[in-house]
Amino acid sequence: MTTLSNRALNRALLDRQFLLVRTDHTPLEVIGRLVALQAQEPNWPYVGLWSRIHGFTHSRLTTLLQDRTVVRSGLLRSTQHLAAADDFRRLRPLLQPVLDRTARSAYFARNSAGLDPASLVATGLELLADGMTPRKELARRLAERHPGRDGRTLAGEVELRTPLIHNPATGAWGSWGTRSAVSVTPAEIWLGRPMAPATAKDLIRRYLAAFGPAGTMDVQAWSGLTRLGEIVSDMRAELRHYRGPDGRELIDLADAELPDPDAPAPVRLLPAFDNALLGHADRTRIISHEDRNHVMPGQARVRPTFLVDGHVRGSWSLEGDTLRLTPFRPLSATDRAALEQEAERLLPFVGGENVAYGGPGATRSP
């Protein structure tokens, strides 16, 4: 069994994520390859696609949301994602146990104690029967039906327990801080088609195409699903097998090619919550344990980052019209110049005018 170095795994991930070379594939094709894009805040998927696609413009994603080809909803790990509509129809039912598990957490359970989950969902769907409804209105109506309970929490539980699509406007570029303005509608009404569950094997194959080679624990960390070991074992004959740097067994699609580990990796700026950083239990192929603490300081926070030679070397932020780069340690003159050039290219896309440095790694290396 071939042992793959950390660098080989890094280059494989970058290649499959379109971060080794920008692609001419359409945004829909790229979203399909990546399975889904984190969309905690509406603007970040746009930056993720800009870093992966030649000549990407905001309208190319906004149009997909408006024509219902791409949708925004809860998906992987119970978090908001963008996915192709057909993928959402297949993947949301498969991932529903993950969202149900979140709905049973103490935060929701305290508020809905004594309520039958199926009845709560039925009530929610009844209140949403007329189409797109503001979350605030759904919360108000649920509170009327269930006096003494917090309506916003009940609305959140309904959204976890049944697939609801967000209105396209809340996925549009520039929609920062619009969570309170989100409207939702049942997925089958929005899509005009029923859910059509995929199998766990389908999901594993899709994952490997975007994140492999990887281990079973990596698939579980990315998806939120558990107990996939038996399913992976049943797929053994169709997969290729490797060892990772730590001796763990890794799996991959049989026909998947690995790029040259010595292939150059250009500087890339990634958005907050990018799944390239979140797609594995062991993330050292792209970010060190030390730097992970800088980027992910809490459970619900993943800062925007930049890659140098394929690995996270710092974070960035947009402060007014200034794009601020924060290296975690000093960069070489060559890497600094490449980073500045990429940041300058991103500026017009995010509406900035200046690039500046900050943080302990900002000092120029000799």
User: Which tens digit of pLDDT belongs to each residue from 331-340?
Assistant: 999 999 999 9
Residue 63: its pLDDT value, please? 98
Q: Are residues 276 and 174 in the same domain?
A: no
Q: Are residues 27 and 155 in the same domain?
A: yes
Q: Are residues 36 and 131 in the same domain?
A: yes
Q: Are residues 184 and 209 in the same domain?
A: no
List Cβ<8 Å contacts ≥24 apart for 20-27.
20/259, 20/263, 20/265, 20/266, 20/310, 22/51, 22/52, 22/53, 22/54, 23/52, 23/53, 23/54, 24/53, 24/54, 25/53, 26/60, 27/53, 27/56, 27/60, 27/61, 27/64, 27/70
Does 11 map to a domain?
no
Identify the CA nearest to 285 among candidates 218, 361, 205.
218
Average predicted confidence (pLDDT) for the chain: 95
Identify the CA nearest to 99 among candidates 120, 133, 73.
73
pLDDT tops 60 at residue 69:
yes
Q: At what angle do helices 27-34 and 200-211 cross, to 10 degrees?
A: 110
Q: Are residues 301 and 222 in the same domain?
A: no
Residue 300: its pLDDT value, please? 75
Does 85 map to a domain?
yes
Q: Are residues 26 and 90 in the same domain?
A: yes
Q: Span 60-81, mean pLDDT?
A: 97
Q: Are residues 313 and 225 in the same domain?
A: no
| End position of a domain, from candidates 169, 191, 213 | 191
| End position of a domain, from candidates 144, 173, 191 | 191
Q: Are residues 91 and 40 in the same domain?
A: yes
Q: Which two tokens stand for residue 252?
A: 């991959």
Domain that residue 133 falls in = 21-191
| End position of a domain, from candidates 174, 191, 208 | 191
pLDDT tops 90 at residue 361:
no
Q: Are residues 29 and 148 in the same domain?
A: yes
Does 157 map to a domain?
yes
The set of residues, in sequence order, having a beta carbon less than 8 Å from that of 353 and lying 6+ positions away, is 321, 322, 347
- Give the neighbor-by-neighbor strand order of the sheet with 305-308: 268-270, 305-308, 311-319, 322-327, 354-357
Q: Are residues 169 and 119 in the same domain?
A: yes
Overall number of domains in the chain: 3
Handedness of CA 215, 72, 174, 31 (dihedral sign): positive
Q: Are residues 241 and 306 in the same domain?
A: no
Dump pLDDT digits (tens) for 202-231.
999 999 999 999 999 999 999 999 999 999
Does 178 map to a domain?
yes
Q: Span 293-297, mean pLDDT?
A: 90
Does 263 map to a domain?
no
Q: Are residues 71 and 178 in the same domain?
A: yes
